[in-house]
Amino acid sequence: MVKKILLPAFFVLLIAAQWYVPADMVLQSSNVISKGTLMRFKCAPVDPKDPFRGSYIVLNLDNRDFPLPPGHDFQMNEKVFVSFETDSAGFAQIKTVTKQKPRGMRDVLETEIDYISKEDGKPVATLEFPFTRFYMDEFKAPKAERLYNDAMLTDSAGTYAIVHIYYGKARISNVVVKGRLITDWMLNKPAKITP
Amino acid sequence: MQHDIDAMIADGVLSPETAEAVRQWYQRQQPPKPQQGNRLMLIFAVLGSLMVATGIILIFAHNWDELSVTLKTILAFVPMLIGQIAVGYTLWRKQDMAAWREASGGWLALSIGACIALVSQIYHLPGELDTFLLTWLVLGGGLIYLLSSSVVAVLFLLGATWYVVEAGYGYRTEVGAGWPYWVMIAFLVPWYINEVKRRPSGFFAGLMHFLLPLSLLFGLGMFAKGGNNGLMWVANSSLLGTFLLLGLWLAQKKLAGRWNGYYVAGLPGSVGVLLAGTFTDFWKDFNRSTSYSDLNAGAWPGILAFVITLAAIYLLVNKCRRVTPTQWYLPAFGFLVFALLWFASRAFLPGAAAFGANVFVLLCGVWMLWRGQATQSFLRLNTGLAVIGLLAILRFFDTELSFVLRGVIFIGVGLGFVLANYQLIQKKKSNG
């Protein structure tokens, strides 16, 4: 009798958990992309593989460094909150890095300090950005990488990642190469106005 | 046969009623043809389904980039949904059929990982492999007990082992990172014990006897932080000794049969560690200043060495208590000898520890040789000879004996192989 009740109950709980985790991933990501603030980040490519998610372009983002004040108490792997501003070329630049959660969190990214180094004797924090991978069809990724490398040499201003930031979370939705979405390049679609 | 029966009816040997009874008896002895046909149909049906499913996946994969994010997301959940429906149906109607439990459980376990991976790919989510593996294992682990599924249990153990290597190894990981591995092993153990009790000679129990010791060796490695720490060697040696003693216990209770992975890992492992200890340089390495990795490992190596050695001593005392000293299993003392030699290497010259290891390994080889002769077992006899031979080969590389003397030793060992086997063959022949 107990087994007749417990077994179905356990099954239902297990199914609920198996749906909850990926569904939460989908909902959070959709939320960030639809409601988040769109920002453009400059990048540089490599083409490695993830054993489960496939091939991806690594987006080595240009502007991950932030100078720290002398006598700072930041540490490697410490959680921080990053706010951004847009430069004259329209790319996102780090504005502030704080340990405490700021009041206006909407456009703020929650992340960690990757490492702290010194430049000209002054401490600099390099931040971890959670949008460094853009997954692609494994047969198209090498072609995308070549396109990208060429673009970085000839048109770096027209090459960037489109990222949405929303209350601490960030999601990358696409990569622009020479003014065109990389997905459109791979599908040979005509150029359209890009964000 | 039919012709003979007709002839016997014609000659009046068998009456028609008796002949009919004989025909029916023969028919009952034949394997039922419809069942054979069903089995073949099942194989082709499975192959056909796999081909169709693969074809559908390939078509979707080719057009994947052109699909909308919403459609991709729905497709990502479909395999998991199918698996959950199959598991639900199994629990409702086919709970007694092992094939349904294993197939549906295996499908669902794998499709959970596929779903999470696909969603991560679609939305370009960040995250490391160890986090992904942990999430997958936590969501799928319950299927082991829900379905009493051996396939899921084996996949779970393989996944947990992969997780501990990803999370716990590497110089940048925190000490103790990968600790959920031990929780997962504890979660798996009740199923394992139950499986061994229920089907001690079953395939999956036997497979686990091999996989679990290997997995535990990887798990222990997460505390080493990549350093060459002497105490981690003691911990590993004691763990191998524990495996050997467990293997002997399983064999005694007839719970493992040929699939005694603990014995297979424990015996060569225990002797192997001591063979490494026959080199003086091996002990010298533990006495130099500690490396960064050793410092990073903290107190864990010491704690583990102490606890595992204590557990192994308990098993050893229990084993030895039940038999006379002449029946003691000498290689089972290997872990204890190694631990004592480690202390000796710190207190005295490393050379003394190496000498001790050489003596003990030689004794083990001779003991196995003697036991092989006594029990008339070629396997034991030749294992002993192999240990002695291997010891001779290793000494070839680090002693300053003359070539002549080394040659004489090799000839002696080779002749020993031949004479010992010949003697055993003669003994077996004379005993009939």
CA atoms within 13 Å, Cβ hemisphere of B51: 6
Q: pLDDT, tens digit, for every residue of B206-260?
A: 999 999 999 999 999 888 765 557 788 899 999 999 999 999 998 888 887 777 8
Residues forming beta bridges with residue A126, ordered by sequence position: A65, A115
Which residues on A lie below 8 Å from B143 (Cβ)? 14
Count Cβ atoms below 10 Å from residue B333 Cβ, excluding itself: 19
| A50 part of contact set with chain B, CB < 8 Å | yes
Are the C-beta atoms of residues B371 and B380 closer than 8 Å to each other? yes
- The verdict on A132 touching B (C-beta cutoff 8 Å) is yes
Q: Does B126 touch chain A (CB under 8 A)?
A: yes
Q: Can you tell me which residue has the tokens 């349904």?
A: B100
Closest CA to A45 of A175, A172, A162: A175
B9 touches chain A (CB under 8 A): no
Q: How many residues does chain A have?
A: 195
Residues B127, B131, B134, CA angle at the centre, nearest 5°? 155
**Residue B129 to residue A51, Cβ atoms within 8 A:** yes
Angle value at C-alpha A190, between A185 and A192, nearest 5 degrees:
95
- For B293-325, the pLDDT digits (tens) are 555 566 788 888 899 999 999 999 998 988 888
Question: How many whole angstroms separate alpha carbon B360 and alpha carbon B52?
Answer: 61
Please name the residue that has the structure tokens 């980039």. Answer: B65
Residue of B nearest to A164 (CA): B123
Q: What residue of A is the nearest CA neighbor of B126?
A: A130
Min CA distance, B55 vs chain A (Å)? 17
Do the chains contact at B117 and A53, CB–CB below 8 Å? yes
If you count residue pairs, one on A and one on B, with CB atoms under 8 Å apart, how many are there?
84
pLDDT tens, residue by residue, A71-108: 888 888 899 999 999 888 888 989 999 998 888 778 89
Q: Is A115 on the interface with B (CB under 8 A)?
A: no
CB contact under 8 A, A171 and B124: yes
Question: What's the ipTM?
Answer: 0.79
Distance CA B362, CA B360 (A): 5
Query: pTM of the predicted model, to two decimals?
Result: 0.79
Residues ≥6 apart with Cβ < 8 Å to B192: B153, B205, B208, B212
Tens-digit pLDDT profile for residues A112-164: 998 898 888 888 999 988 888 888 777 776 777 777 677 766 666 677 889 99
CA distance from start to end of chain A: 61
B67 CB-contact burial (10 Å; exposed 0-12 / middle 13-18 / buried 19+):
middle
Q: Which residue in chain B has the smallest CA separation from A10? A: B146
Query: Quick check: helix, strand or coil at residue B45?
Result: helix
Q: Which residue has the tokens 């990642």?
A: A161
- Cβ atoms < 10 Å from Cβ of A171: 22
Q: Find the range with the poorest average confidence among B45-54, B124-133, B287-296, B341-350.
A: B287-296
Beta bridge partners of A110: A81
State the nearest Cα–Cα gap between B125 and chain A, in angstroms.
Answer: 7
Residue B12 confidence (pLDDT) above 90: no
Q: How far is CA A41 from the centre of its chain?
A: 9
Alpha-carbon B272 to chain mean position: 18
Interface probe for B, chosen from A25, A75, A115, A134 (most Cβ of B below 10 Å), is A25
